[in-house]
Amino acid sequence: MSIRFIRFVFTLWIVPISTLLSAELDEIESRMDQLLERLNKMEPSNSSQPVEAPPIPLDLSSSGQDELPSIPLPPLLSHNTTASKSEAPKVFDQLEGRIDNLLRRLNMESSPLKETPVQVKKQPRVDVPKTQKLSKSENPPNSFALPDELGKQNFDPPPLPKNRFNFYLGLSIPGDSVYSDTSGNHDTEFGSGFELGLDYNRMFEDGSYIGAFVEGKFFDTEKISGTSTTGDNRLVNLGFTLGQDWDFSELLALKTQASIGASITHYEISTESYSANSLGFHYSFLAGLEFRWNEYWQTSLYYEFDGRSSADRMDYQSFHQLGIETGIGF
């Protein structure tokens, strides 16, 4: 009795459960078909726009994605429900076959989602206008320029010093002169001496300059009419200069200069008991090689030829100078 009762109860439970499972499988199979159809539509096409997969309307009662949907069980059938003993195995065989069919379809027909290439929108090209080259008379523009373009612009160099003081010292070689007195004219010879001076120059952009100078020459009297004699002589010259620097490079230049002014002289001849001061006219021409250590400091080696007019009893006299000059700009 117990075995028959158990079989009866088992049949009462299995048949409705299998019926419900079959209905659920029908619904799952239908949704699987919809899912496969949508997956096939999601394959990349020739369109450049990426396709978004629509949401899959699976009505799952459970919050977890890996769990199967819950299957509500119907209330137990009454004892009047009858089922044959052979229906249960047949139903299970049908369910197993349908499940195998679904798995086979999933493996054969469905394909993994292909990665949709990301479409990067090309930004419109912005052409940056080239910076126009600047002439020396133009100022740099206020517009934006790329670093490479900035390097190609021609900017004006920093202004050079407009003022310059020069200090110079040199060897002075006096020429012969003529001393005149009541007894006649006497050739007078002088020994070598030295000169030192200071001048100021106002510089211009083209390399020219104007200025003023003051210098002193000191030398001795050696002979008069072939007879040895002594005497301390000095000249103080002052006046104005006009010059030009001819640039060979940034470090080297040729300096040319002309000067005019006045000469205050003092001559002595001991054998003639002569000592006198006088005022005369002075001129000079100078040429030198100028070395520029930087934009503020330069040094020159120069040659100068100058002369003075007659002074008292002394006739015209010329001089040759070789010297060194150093200048400071500001």
CATH number of the domain within which 210 lies: 2.40.160.20
Distance of CA 252 to the CA centre of its chain: 29
Q: What pLDDT does residue 116 have?
A: 52
Close Cβ partners of 149 (under 8 Å, ≥ 6 residues apart)? 130, 131
Residue 140 counted as domain residue: yes
Residue 118 counted as domain residue: no
The reply to whether 274 and 152 lie within a common domain is no
For the chain, give the percent of residues with pLDDT over 90. Answer: 45
Residues of the chain with pLDDT under 70: 1-25, 39-92, 106-160
**Backbone torsions φ then ψ of 132, nearest 5 degrees:** -75, 140
The reply to whether 201 and 306 lie within a common domain is yes
The reply to whether 152 and 188 lie within a common domain is no
Task: Say what the pTM is.
Answer: 0.52
The reply to whether 227 and 249 lie within a common domain is yes
CB 191 within 8 A of CB 212: no
Half-sphere exposure of 59 (CA within 13 A, CB side): 6
Residue 81 counted as domain residue: yes
The reply to whether 174 and 197 lie within a common domain is yes
| Integer Cα distance of 131 and 112 in angstroms | 55
Residue 268 counted as domain residue: yes
Q: What pLDDT does residue 287 have?
A: 96
Residue 49 counted as domain residue: no
The reply to whether 168 and 271 lie within a common domain is yes
Q: What pLDDT does residue 139 have?
A: 52
The reply to whether 183 and 206 lie within a common domain is yes
Pairing outcome for strands 208-224 and 232-247: antiparallel
CB 189 within 8 A of CB 219: no
Q: Which domain holds residue 12?
A: 1-39+74-111
Q: Residue 172: which of 197, 193, 198, 190 has the closest Cα? A: 193
Residue 237 counted as domain residue: yes
Our count of domains for the chain comes to 3
Distance of CA 224 to the CA centre of its chain: 73
Residue 67 counted as domain residue: no
| Integer Cα distance of 240 and 190 in angstroms | 27
Q: Is the dihedral of CA 141, 143, 147, 149 positive or negative?
A: negative
Q: What pLDDT does residue 10 have?
A: 59
DSSP code at position 311: B
Task: Name the CA dihedral angle for 129, 135, 141, 143, rounded to a multiple of 10 degrees.
Answer: 10
| Integer Cα distance of 114 and 49 in angstroms | 15
The reply to whether 35 and 170 lie within a common domain is no
CB 22 within 8 A of CB 15: no
The reply to whether 95 and 17 lie within a common domain is yes
- The label of the residue with tokens 């726009």 reads 49
The reply to whether 175 and 300 lie within a common domain is yes
CB 257 within 8 A of CB 303: no
Residue 300 counted as domain residue: yes
CB 217 within 8 A of CB 232: no
Angle 2-41/87-108 helices, nearest 10 degrees?
Answer: 20
The reply to whether 276 and 293 lie within a common domain is yes
CB 177 within 8 A of CB 159: no
Q: What pLDDT does residue 122 have?
A: 61
Q: Is the dihedral of CA 98, 101, 103, 109 positive or negative?
A: negative
DSSP code at position 68: P
Q: What pLDDT does residue 103 have?
A: 73
The reply to whether 173 and 197 lie within a common domain is yes
CB 237 within 8 A of CB 217: yes
The counts of H helices and E strands in the chain are: 3, 11
| Integer Cα distance of 226 and 179 in angstroms | 13
- The label of the residue with tokens 């054998």 reads 271
Task: Name the CA dihedral angle for 163, 167, 170, 176, rounded to a multiple of 10 degrees.
Answer: 70
| Integer Cα distance of 315 and 310 in angstroms | 4
Q: What pLDDT does residue 204 have?
A: 93
Radius of gyration of the chain (CA): 59
